[in-house]
Amino acid sequence: MKESVSDVILVGYSGHAYVVADILIQNGVKIKGYLDKAKKDINPFKLEYLGVDDTWMDDFAPCGFIVAIGDNNIRGKIYDSFKKKLIQLINVIHSSSVISNTVIIGSGLMIMPNVVVNSFARIGDGVILNSNCTVEHECLIGNYVHIAPGAVLAGNVTVGDYTFIGAGAVVKQGVRIGKNVVIGAGCVVLNDVEDNQVVIGNPGRLMK
């Protein structure tokens, strides 16, 4: 999937951003460079350093931006700041992903290899759907959510803003998960979860 922008600028440039950069390159999209707090010593894609996160210059105007940061709260803060400045935030979608034509998606998404999103799901802004995760029919995913590799959300699951679903976790159909929740790796969630909770284990239980 090619983006209708001249170039793309990465915001953040470390492990998560490497995957995003790799997808952009595979999609034939040119990466102009990256913004970060400081110039990186490790630069596997040989990208140009363009300044700090809040850098904004007129000659960047034709570019699209992607906030390639794994931390939900940091990503959300930067995304909101850029959105207020009317900066174009693009979606990065790997060609191996399978996304129903009935799915409604926001902006600033990162959809990694072998992701499946099925009928009538809704995906908010700034969401990461990481490698091999499955979002089943009619799921509602809020803003700045991260669904980690191999996680499975059965049908009609709701996930609130800024929530993290750990690698290999499974969420039963119809479960509602609140905002700012952390679901541990390999957790099996059978019941609703209120805001600001941490859930671990199989079956899932609240961490005291």
Give the span between the Cα atoms of 163 and 53, in whole angstroms. 23
Any binding-site annotation on 15? yes
Decide: residue 163, CB within 10 A, 0-12 exposed, 13-18 middle, 19+ buried: buried
Any binding-site annotation on 70? yes
Any binding-site annotation on 16? yes
Are 179 and 185 spatial neighbours (Cβ–Cβ below 8 Å)?
A: no
User: Is residue 94 annotated as a catalytic residue, yes or no?
Assistant: no
Any binding-site annotation on 174? no
> Is residue 6 classed as helix, strand or coil in its secondary structure?
coil
And the tokens for 62? 């034709």
Give the span between the Cα atoms of 167 and 88, in whole angstroms. 30
Q: Give the active site residue among 137, 162, 163, 193.
A: 137
Are 155 and 161 spatial neighbours (Cβ–Cβ below 8 Å)?
A: no
Q: Which residues are catalytic?
A: 137
Binding residues for substrate: 14-16, 70
Binding residues: 14-16, 70, 146
Binding residues for acetyl-CoA: 146
